Amino acid sequence: MSVEDVGALIQLLVACDGHCEALLLLSGSLPADDVESLAQEARIDMIVSDRTDLHSARPVSEVLEMAPGQPGSSITPCKTEWIMTTSGTTGRPKMISHTLESLSRTVSRPTEGAQQNIWGLVYDPTRFAGMQVVLQSLLGGGVLVVSSPQDSMGQRLALFGNEGITHLSATPTLWRRFLMQPEISSLALRQITLGGEIADQTILDALHRQFSDARIVHIYASTELGVGFSVKDLREGFPAAWLDQAPGSIAMRITEGTLRIKAATTSAASGAEQQMAPDDDGYLDTQDTVEKIGGRVLFRGRDNGTVNIGGVKIYPETVEQILNARPEVMISHVFSKKNPFSGNILIAEVVISPGIDNEADLKTDLLRHCRDKLPKEAVPALIRVVPDIILNPAGKVRRS
């Protein structure tokens, strides 16, 4: 299913879970070609959509009419696999299998007399983080507030303020944008969740200042491994003591600079086992580089060479290739730098061919070239012309 209307999507999930073999949840904004090819790959029998550009799709209303309980329905109950996608680094989504049970494992059930939680939804509900918000709010007995996809950031926050949301979950990049909107002051949040990217001390402090009474939680989750933990002490990273005694049913250690996790119970992340083999003690490499400083373990980035720019994973080498393709560029080095607005930003250093005297024009030209060839997050924020670029002994551009 690729459905833009969140209300319709939820109705479909309720109607279909337990009555079909598998549900493939695809974003309502996924290009039509990708929807068709992923559906084929997952051997899907029927595409349901409220989009106009998916010609083979059945309308939502038609499928809801076929649902069990409706006259003439002959569907027998079964256990349903929920196939969701995770952002791959190649741009094409990667499929990961779940069940409603595994997805709602951390959902707290409503308790008698408790204050009702009102959740705002800013994530795509077909992705893991968004589905967590949907399930947590609805199965947890709360309310879910969804804005129209056409709403601006300011309109969305104003709606959340009017509806009195108490819980909001977003990436650090989105939180930075929220804090830059005057409408942020209309929110009275009791719980703030950050996930999907490294939550640095700056964003935690800024949120604590704006919402001094709110519980602020940052989540570390490895979708591939299907495990994670949350940190609630308002500090970046996690306590080094967890390397000896981790919370929940996991064990952690640092090997060769990356975080390794061993889960007591392997979850439903079925794609994981094929890609990653655990070491002799059963620990899996998260590929997240970490550093132990004092009593804290801090996240530094990804070990697979990607950098996260505003929530998008980029290989700096790809940008170098684009720059090196130009005759004016002899060699380039692209690296990331921390930035308060987008988490990281790319900077390109280039050595230019002899005989080029107008550097300003060349920089403008190279940036235009990058914008034509790359997603906007991958375009360097700055191009610096340098006399030389240091190579490592293997003759490669040095990466640190």
Partner 1 sequence: MREIISNIFKGIWVEQTQSEPPVLTNDTVLLDTGLDSLGFAIVVTRLEEELGYDPFSISEDAYYPQTFGEFVEFYELHRPKA
136 touching partner 1, by CB under 8 A? no
201 touching partner 1, by CB under 8 A? yes
Rounded Cα distance, 364 and 320, in Å: 16
149 touching partner 1, by CB under 8 A? no
Among 71, 77, 182, 395, binds partner 1 (CB under 8 A): 182
Among 92, 105, 215, 384, binds partner 1 (CB under 8 A): 384
Residue closer to partner 1 by CB (options 321, 364) is 364
347 touching partner 1, by CB under 8 A? yes
Closest alpha carbon to 177 in 336, 342, 314: 342
- Answer whether 169's CB lies under 8 Å from 196's CB: no
Residue closer to partner 1 by CB (options 154, 305) is 154
95 touching partner 1, by CB under 8 A? no
Q: Inter-axis angle of helices 6-16 and 128-139, to 10 degrees?
A: 80
Residue closer to partner 1 by CB (options 88, 340) is 340
Task: Name the segment binding partner 1 (CB under 8 A); options: 161-169, 179-187, 250-258, 264-272.
Answer: 179-187
Residue closer to partner 1 by CB (options 82, 123) is 123
Minimal distance in Å, beta carbon 178 to partner 1?
A: 9
Residue closer to partner 1 by CB (options 181, 230) is 181
181 touching partner 1, by CB under 8 A? yes
Among 22, 42, 107, 206, binds partner 1 (CB under 8 A): 206
376 touching partner 1, by CB under 8 A? yes
Minimal distance in Å, beta carbon 217 to partner 1?
A: 17
Instruction: Give the number of residues written for the chain.
Output: 400
205 touching partner 1, by CB under 8 A? yes
173 touching partner 1, by CB under 8 A? yes
> Rounded to the nearest 5 degrees, what angle is found at the Cα of 240, between the Cα atoms of 236 and 245?
125
Residue closer to partner 1 by CB (options 105, 368) is 368
Closest alpha carbon to 25 in 64, 83, 97: 83
Minimal distance in Å, beta carbon 122 to partner 1?
A: 14
374 touching partner 1, by CB under 8 A? no
Closest alpha carbon to 52 in 80, 28, 16, 88: 28
Residue closer to partner 1 by CB (options 300, 384) is 384
387 touching partner 1, by CB under 8 A? no
> Number of helices and strands (H, E) in the chain?
11, 19
Rounded Cα distance, 379 and 369, in Å: 9
Residue closer to partner 1 by CB (options 142, 172) is 172
- Answer whether 283's CB lies under 8 Å from 291's CB: no
176 touching partner 1, by CB under 8 A? yes
295: left (phi over 0), alpha (psi -120 to 50) or beta: alpha
Contacts of 3 (CB under 8 A, 6+ apart): 9, 12, 28, 48, 49, 50, 51, 60
Rounded Cα distance, 373 and 321, in Å: 11
The residue behind tokens 């530094």 is: 300
- Answer whether 250's CB lies under 8 Å from 261's CB: yes
29 touching partner 1, by CB under 8 A? no
Rounded Cα distance, 197 and 210, in Å: 21
Name the site residues for partner 1 (rule: CB under 8 A).
153-154, 173, 176-177, 179-182, 201-206, 209, 309-310, 337-342, 345, 347, 364, 367, 376-377, 381-382, 384
